[in-house]
Amino acid sequence: MEKFTVLIESRPFCAFNDTPMAQLKSSGMDLIDMRGSGIQDPKFVEALNRADAILCGNDLVVNDAVLDMAPRVKAIAKMGAGLDTVDIAAATRHNAIVFHTPGANNQAVADHTFGLILNVARKIIYCDRSLRENRWEHTKIMGLEIWQKTLGLIGLGAIGRCVALRAKGFQMKVVAYDPFWPTAFADEQGIEQVKLEELLKVSDIVSIHVPLIPETKWMIDEKALNLMKSSAILINAARGGIVNETDLYKALKNGVIAGAGLDVFENEPPTNSALLDMDNVVLTPHTAAFTFEGMNNMSIGVVEQLIAYYHGDKPVHIVNPAAWDAQKA
């Protein structure tokens, strides 16, 4: 039997626990470990030519050009839930299945979301920097309370629901916008369904939990920001392209909204972003999913599905079943 070769590109894979890697090594598959490399490396391009599967993260954009370099690839194993770096249509055209690990980092991202909310509302980062610079601004720095405020969730999927549950601890009123409304959960938790425009108008905190797709590109732009309260906070731990950062910068600078917390950016890293110089925005480097538990869950989830595929079974979280059907035809 010809070896089944897996090219491992994802930098976070087994970053904290080698057990999933050990499972892969003992599975019978041949592994090419090039974590942290990419198509700028000729050795990586050569490895693509030999690979039957690619285990990737958020750095490698898997499109027609990459798949043309990988004529043998039949499986794309994506760590994490986000699929904006994988061209699903291109993969299907190349007869390659795509699967990912939704749910593996829900709790991590929900925790980080609330960390951003609290940091922005209470200006914790600013306070820390002020104190380290020997400024005792004891009565000058005023924060916002989130107790019993209105939290507006754009997206009430798996992560949005985890955030909603955390909001209950602060006795917040939760409203949400989602075209795919989870009726049972919303009814059980007392979450009000509203249109996007209404959500922006009534919310004290707006938190984004939708994927980056054509319909959500720049969903939050100047028009949307102008609907928000001047005391409101915007949180984005989903994907950068959902927020127009130029419009957000203007809104923050001109007091259209009070603050923002961002874990994701239109261009990563955001080296030249004007947001870097603002005191009313808290920025983190796309780390919402990076907990020991979340990373381990993703590594385990992607390995379990790779092994299943290697043994001829259908991965649990396949997103283009047409490619699976074509491979089995």
Cβ pair 40, 63 in contact under 8 A = no
pLDDT of residue 180 exceeding 80, the answer is yes
pLDDT of residue 1 exceeding 60, the answer is no
Catalytic position from the list 11, 50, 72, 286: 286
Domain positions in the chain: 5-104+292-328, 106-283
What is the pLDDT averaged over residues 202-224? 96
Question: Residue 314 region, left (φ>0) first, then alpha (ψ -120 to 50), else beta?
Answer: beta
Kind and range of the H or E run holding 158: helix 158-168
Q: What is the pLDDT of residue 251?
A: 98
Q: What is the pLDDT of residue 142?
A: 93
Q: What is the pLDDT of residue 2?
A: 72
**Which tokens in the block code for residue 327?**
């491979």
What is the pLDDT averaged over residues 66-89? 95
Angle at which helices 124-132 and 106-122 cross, to 10°:
60
What is the spatial distance between Cα 156 and Cα 74, in angstroms, rounded to a whole number?
33
What is the pLDDT averaged over residues 231-255? 97
Q: What is the pLDDT of residue 329?
A: 84
Catalytic position from the list 112, 239, 245, 317: 239
**Is there a common fold for 5-104+292-328 and 106-283?**
yes
Which residue reads 């090594």 in tokens? Answer: 25
What is the spatial distance between Cα 238 and Cα 159, in angstroms, rounded to a whole number?
9
Strand residue runs (E) in 164-292? 173-177, 192-193, 205-208, 233-236, 259-262, 281-283
pLDDT above 70 covers a percentage of the chain that reads: 100
Q: What is the pLDDT of residue 120?
A: 98
pLDDT above 90 covers a percentage of the chain that reads: 96
Q: What is the pLDDT of residue 16?
A: 86
What is the pLDDT averaged over residues 241-246? 97
pLDDT of residue 61 exceeding 70, the answer is yes
CATH for 106-283, options being 3.30.230.10, 3.40.50.720, 3.40.50.300, 3.40.50.970: 3.40.50.720
Q: What is the pLDDT of residue 6?
A: 98
Fold of 5-104+292-328: Rossmann fold (3.40.50)
Q: What is the pLDDT of residue 46?
A: 97
C-alpha dihedral sign at 216, 217, 221, 223: negative
Mean pLDDT of the chain: 96
Q: What is the pLDDT of residue 41?
A: 96
What is the pLDDT averaged over residues 47-55? 97
In which order are the strands placed within the sheet that holds 30-33?
A: 30-33, 5-8, 53-56, 75-78, 97-99
Q: What is the pLDDT of residue 150?
A: 98
Task: pLDDT band for 238, please (50, 70, 90 cuts).
Answer: very high
Catalytic position from the list 137, 145, 197, 268: 268
Q: What's at 263, amino acid-wise?
A: D
Does residue 239 carry a catalytic annotation? yes
Q: What is the pLDDT of residue 79?
A: 94
